[in-house]
Amino acid sequence: MKFGVVTFPGSNCDQDMIDALHAMGQQVIRLWHKDTDLSAFSTDDMIILPGGFSYGDYLRCGALARFSPIMSSIIAFARQGGKVLGVCNGFQILCEAHLLPGVLLPNAGRNFICRNTYIISRQPHTLLTRKAAHRPLLVPIAHAEGRYYADEDTIENLFANGQVIFQYCNEHGEVSATSNPNGSLHHIAGICNREKNVFGMMPHPERAVLAELGNTDGRPIFESILSYSSSHQLHSAVS
């Protein structure tokens, strides 16, 4: 499995993501926002849109990055079944590109939030959660516009289809208003598309991979991705 990490003007978490993937022993290809050729990637590979402030977050977060040349190729890649992950600003870009439903609005408190926050998943069968479900993970957040919002029909469908992959919680895994840092509807911290090949999350798992940083709770998320890759390769070899 190969990983492509995109850098937009204003990205500042691309190197964090690359370092985390290298620490997990993975091959990484750097991608520039003006690149359009993704022929080096198969649908078993993953393109990652990292956090940061693409284009200075003018207009809306991710609104300008959505029109970068690479995004047309990423949209086509996703529609062919390729794996795509957006973290923080990357999540915002995926929503602006309509690869994921909903929007990310300014935090309820109108402040930039930068701290560790617990999240939990109760979906054990997605690419990001196979090894990260049913237990709280302490993962950093750093955003001013992370409040997930969608109309109630969309929210109902997200839950019905198992597309809500992470919710904010406390250290015991309990989901409540006091554990919601930004006012996201239904405490949503991450979602995926109906086909479960495009993922977006506001917390930064790449900042919780290296033991030197004092937190490795992000590793199970990457281990989940890699376990999918291993099992898929085994299935392909057997078949």
Q: What is the DSSP string of 78-146?
A: HHTT-EEEEETHHHHHHHHTTSSSSEEEPPTTSS-EEEEEEEE---TTSTTTTTT-SS-EEEEEEESS-
Find out whether 16 and 50 touch, Cβ atoms under 8 Å: yes
Query: What are the residue numbers of the active site?
Result: 88, 204, 206
Please, which residues have CB within 8 angstroms of residue 150's CB and are 6 or more apart in sequence?
Answer: 101, 102, 103, 158, 185
Within the chain, residue ranges assigned H as helices are 14-23, 69-79, 89-96, 152-160, 219-238
What is the largest distance, in Å, between two alpha-carbon atoms of the chain? Answer: 53
Q: What is the DSSP letter of 77?
A: H
CATH level 3 topology of 2-238: Rossmann fold (3.40.50)
pLDDT tens by residue, 85-144: 999 999 999 999 999 999 999 999 999 999 999 999 999 999 999 999 999 999 999 999
Amino acid at 136: P
On the 0-12 / 13-18 / 19+ scale of CB atoms within 10 A, 135 is exposed
Q: What is the DSSP letter of 34?
A: T
**Whole-angstrom distance, CA of residue 132 vs CA of residue 125:** 10
Amino acid at 93: I
State residue 59's pLDDT score: 84
Whole-prediction pTM value?
Answer: 0.95
Q: Dihedral (C-alpha) 234, 210, 16, 207: value to the nearest 10 degrees? A: 100
State residue 238's pLDDT score: 45
pLDDT category of residue 5 using cuts at 50, 70 and 90: very high
pLDDT category of residue 239 using cuts at 50, 70 and 90: very low
The domain segmentation of the chain, as residue ranges, is: 2-238
**Token digits of residue 126:** 């997605």
pLDDT tens by residue, 31-65: 999 999 999 999 999 999 999 999 999 888 999 99
